[in-house]
Structure 1
């Protein structure tokens, strides 16, 4: 299994080969991106393709799925598809043909089993693909919710700017 550490974040990435047995690995030739965006797995076969990833039951995780189209297929037609966490719809992914645009839905989730399923589901337009999946364990005292998972709506930087008076 191949691995790499992203220099700008010190995050370790591993190949997805141990977590799924469907799909086709493709290379993105456009742009000067972090390594995890320079290849992807597309799913031309089947309507639903799922990763099975081992986790620790009861541990809170930040889960991020990343999508960078980069015209990897030469079609210039970025796909739209659904992203599921288990049986629950997580997000509808609408990718872009822009060479500087990634889609990065995030969710905070506490698994009830020792694995999770992250699934890509065909809708009406194009072939689903994924660039990266990140799982980061969190302190269980952060991001309290009464039930279910917490999905990212928006992230804003409200810090002080350098031009304040």
Structure 2
């Protein structure tokens, strides 16, 4: 009877171990699938980065993969910033500037009806050695998104907006409004859960963001 009990216990242990092993395998697979898909639908463009120059690359500060913008726009020239604030990352080393034409646009493929966080960053960085910071307009499709004033924001600035796409394509345009040349450093699109930041109509433009913690770190 004791031997029988031992054998039953052993069989139970083996069955339990198999179940645990299957759970661990499933968990491992799930973790790797999630990890592989955690940037699904992301568009992260390093403006002015040549395709031959390590594109795409992983930004070590946030783990995001950035690629060249060459496939998304047919106009503009590429340049390199000569003056970059110390805290800035690799994305600001190169930029695209638009000396020709009044309106130059990026054409991006998106999912119709999906909500996106769209982020654009700008740094003049004295790429041309002229010390002439530009002022220009930024458009989301046909609508004015923001005026980018790098005379006031000499260390660069960013613009963010939450927008629901009304078609499968999206245009983000830099529009010349004076004598200075529009520039852009990075452009990022992130799919957002449809139930967050609900509005009755229109898009939500970032006013400001505050980090209320004592650690000194920021949440991306």
TM-score normalised to structure 2 length = 0.69
CA distance in 2, matches of 1:35, 1:125: 29
What are the residue-to-residue correspondences of 1:14-163 with 2, within 5 Å?
Answer: 14-31=67-84, 32=86, 33-96=88-151, 101-157=155-211, 159-161=212-214
The answer to whether the Cα contact below 8 Å between 1:26 and 1:41 also exists between their aligned partners in 2 is yes
Structure 1 unaligned runs (5+)?
Answer: none
Q: Which has the higher helix share?
A: 2
CA distance in 1, matches of 2:83, 2:152: 11
In structure 2, relative to structure 1, the CA distance for the partners of 1:34 and 1:161 (3 Å cut) is: closer
| Residue 10 (structure 1) aligns with | 63
Deviations along 1:120-163, one digit per CA (max 9) or x if unpaired, are 00011400010000101111111101111110111122x2447x
Larger Rg: 2
CA distance in 2, matches of 1:95, 1:49: 18
In structure 2, relative to structure 1, the CA distance for the partners of 1:76 and 1:152 (3 Å cut) is: same
CA-CA distance at 1:61 after TM superposition: 0.6
Deviations along 1:31-70, one digit per CA (max 9) or x if unpaired, are 3431111100000000000000111111111000100111
Secondary structure of residue in 2 paired with 1:105: strand
Greater length-normalized contact order (CA 8 Å, ≥ 6 residues apart): 1
The answer to whether the Cα contact below 8 Å between 2:135 and 2:151 also exists between their aligned partners in 1 is no
The answer to whether the Cα contact below 8 Å between 1:76 and 1:97 also exists between their aligned partners in 2 is no
Deviations along 1:75-99, one digit per CA (max 9) or x if unpaired, are 1110000000000000000014877
The answer to whether the Cα contact below 8 Å between 1:69 and 1:97 also exists between their aligned partners in 2 is no
Q: Which has the higher strand share?
A: 1
CA distance in 1, matches of 2:137, 2:195: 30
The answer to whether the Cα contact below 8 Å between 1:69 and 1:95 also exists between their aligned partners in 2 is yes
Structure 2 unaligned runs (5+)?
Answer: 1-50, 216-220
